[in-house]
Amino acid sequence: MATHLLLTFLGLSVLYFNIIEIQILVKTIGVTVFLFHLAANLSTFIQQSSKQFVDPVNRLVLVTGCDSGFGLEVAKRLADFGFHVLAGVLSEKSDGCKELNTYGCKRLRTVKLDITKQEDIDHVVYLVAYLTNYERLIKDGTPRSIFGHADGRLELWALLNNAGLARFIPFEFGTIEDDLMPMFEVNVFGTVRLTKAFLPFLRRSQGRLVNIGSVSDRITIAGLTGYSMSKHVVKSMTDGLRQELSRFNVRSILVEPTLYKTPISNIDQLIKLFNQSFHRTDEMVKSDYGDQNYKILFENHLRKMIVLTRNNINEVVDSIEDSIINCNPKDKYFCASILQKACYWIINQLRIDFQDFLCTFTPPRGFVNFCHQLDSYF
């Protein structure tokens, strides 16, 4: 009887203090969101009132991944602003390439650019060397006219590494060759190859290197481990180059979008890729995870995650454009709602086990240990 009374007392005490802690947490979140909102509006007002823009005349921007999404819209936006834009596309038959070719702006041209293929990169280096009259990198022969009278008079002002690939699968599923390496070939090695190839042009123009990261380089969620790994590399490269290139007055800038409604977040495509990886997974691994039950669980997890995608991709396009046209750009642009920014900030202040709880709904280790100790004591 005494044991039951003691357990009841302890339970009520824990519940009481948990309610108090929850109330404090809710108030803290409310105040934090308000302060974030106030600071963001104040910062935007100050920046907009004192913003100065780069002169786009005779300046070239190279953008990768223009078949769809951010790259497609940014290429058009920068051309309209006055830059000459070389838009790299994976396929010249893609709808995005056709849209850009018929856009009607003489300062916008497409070029086939698969950043996983060195021959494509070499060809674009040759074109840019010709357009910028960079004699050290010009090969024999002259390509066909690209921008007409501007050929040979331009300078490469910015490289936008926008091309990316996402596969949302558990780390143990699939194979390295078919599931992990494709993401690293595009997000990491392709980005590194392209950056190294065009840094001589950017040093010469004292221009901008803009890399597209992700909220996944801030927080890793189960099922996005491989993708987060690749985006952490992009973040580290951008941070390191920001320091190394400062002596040349070259800005290295990171744009970190949360999940937006683009082809990369198409739920049908994500589930299709997951199912392909599931079929490639070792039978022992599938059995340990729960086989078909886990497959259904993960597909539902994907559907719930995609519900959180933001519709207005112009939030990201605006940030990318600002990183290129603003005379005093930010070093990092985090593209998300005010509430999302506040939530990510709060999560990053928590202990690791509580962060894991919010991402996976697995009880924190400290709470589990406490329950075990209490159970053994009685």
CA quadruple 257, 260, 262, 263: dihedral positive or negative?
positive
Q: Give the up-direction half-sphere exposure of residue 76: CA atoms within 13 A in the CB hemisphere.
A: 17
From 16, 130, 134, 227, active-site residue = 227
- The residues, any chain, with a CB within 8 Å of residue 84's CB and separated by 6 or more, are 58, 59, 60, 61, 107, 108, 109, 131, 147, 150, 154
**Could you tell me if 157 and 205 are in contact, meaning their C-beta atoms sit under 8 angstroms apart?**
yes
Q: How many helices (H) and strands (E) does the chain have?
A: 14, 7
Active-site residue 294, yes or no?
A: no
- Cα–Cα distance measured from residue 156 to residue 201, given in angstroms and rounded to the nearest whole number: 6
Contacts with 277 (C-beta within 8 Å, 6 or more apart), sequence order: 167, 169, 173, 174, 178, 179
Q: Could you tell me which residues come within 8 angstroms of residue 325 by beta carbon, excluding any fewer than 6 positions away? A: 53, 54, 56, 78, 81
CA nearest 57: which of 75, 82, 87?
82
> Which among 132, 136, 78 is positioned nearest to 108, based on CA atoms?
78
Question: Which of 231, 259, 278 has its CA nearest to residue 335?
Answer: 259
Q: Rounded to whole angstroms, what are the CA distances from 315 to 11, 243, 256, 373?
A: 47, 27, 11, 49
CA 206 from centroid of its chain's CA atoms:
25
Strand partners, 310: 260
Task: Write b or e for each residue in 347-372: b if 16 or more Cβ atoms lie within 10 A of its Cβ, otherwise e.
Answer: eeeeeeebbbbeeeeeebeeeeeeee
Active site residues: 227
